[in-house]
Amino acid sequence: MQKRMLGKDNLEVSALGLGCMGLSFGYGPATDKQDAIRLIRRAYELGITFFDTAEAYGPFANEELLGEALSPFRSEVVIATKFGFKEGKTALGLDSRPATIRAMAEASLKRLRTDVIDLFYQHRVDPNVPIEEVAGTVKELIREGKVKHFGLSEAGVQTIRKAHAIQPVTALQSEYSLWWREPEQEILPTLEELGIGLVPFSPLGKGFLTGKINEDTKFDDKDFRNIVPRFSEENRKANQALVDLLGKIAKQKEASSAQIALAWLLAQKPWIVPIPGTTKLHRLEENVGSADIKLSADELKEINEVMAKVKVQGARYPEQMQKMVGR
């Protein structure tokens, strides 16, 4: 698989990464541990060198899983993890105090079975801690050799600029896909100006852009999508038009809808590295295939024109979670 560079410090990663959250958290029961290890190692065999986790995924279980799965070839991969929730639990709220960041870094290093974290993101901006203090703390961890690169997740433009002035931000991880294009307004121009990479999570719209979800789909009781307005039965029905259009384009290219959605993202900027997640080996292989699909300027224009005809219905987060993004 081709490589891409994130940030001015040139963090080299595979053009596609693997978002590992769903193996332990968020989308129903955790995947069987051995099956999850098999999938992570298969991703490496297919050329993926960029793996994304967080202490909050579990909490802690996902980091431990990744640490074990990647240990045979740790030096050949890039591991990104995140800090910023009290005790690693999203329900307890945010905590990015310097002492907490340090404690989280030490704990993550042990769980990941490594002596350095390649990319350390603040999971969500903490309004109670100046971003300059957060960036300064990570800068110290970089100086001490415990972290290589600093990242932010779902941060707003002003926060990105303030943080970057203290410690260069290598990457911003935020949602970006054919059904969430708001980052194009302010975020992408800012990242381009500052030389910061973008790591889109949910590049397949939390599964919706694959075409495998419709108004009749029933999610597991523990599935996060049950509380996402965009995934209400009514909104799924309304948003089906977008998936149908994507499916037609995919058919023309003899590809899957998921592959076209990922290829579209890869075509936007050379410093964009999507991190689709999956629990299924055949979906992993399908996603990896998107890196070989080249969309022409005319095809990209057609996709944009077709997609512009559909207005996506429903917020991407419940109201309480929406307050934590874009700060």
Residue 319: pLDDT above 90?
no
Instruction: Spell out a b/e string for 169-202, using b for 16 or more CB atoms within 10 Å of the CB, else e.
Output: bbbbbbbbbbbbbebeeebbebbeebbbbbbbbb
> Whole-prediction pTM value?
0.97
| Domain tally, the chain | 1
CA distances from 308 to 174, 181, 291, 303, 304 (A): 21, 11, 24, 8, 6
Inside any domain, residue 229: no
Q: Is residue 262 part of a domain?
A: no
Residue 222 inside a domain? The answer is no
pLDDT of residue 326: 83
Q: Is residue 242 part of a domain?
A: no
Mean pLDDT along residues 52-61: 98
Q: The domain that contains 55 carries what CATH number?
A: 3.20.20.100
- pLDDT tens sequence across 205-234: 999 999 999 999 999 999 999 999 999 999
Q: Give the pLDDT of residue 323.
A: 86
Q: In sequence order, which residues have a C-beta less than 8 Å from that of residue 234 and are 6 or more positions away?
A: 215, 313
Residue 236 confidence (pLDDT): 96
Residue 249 lies inside a defined structural domain of this protein: no
| Whole-angstrom distance, CA of residue 213 vs CA of residue 297 | 29
Mean pLDDT of 69-76: 98
Structural domain range at position 57 = 3-206+267-295
- Percent residues over pLDDT 90 in the chain: 96
Residues serving a catalytic function are 57
Q: Domain for residue 186, yes or no?
A: yes
Per-residue pLDDT reduced to its tens digit, 170-189 = 999 999 999 999 999 999 99
Report if residue 227 sits inside a domain.
no
122 inside domain? yes
Report pLDDT for 299.
94
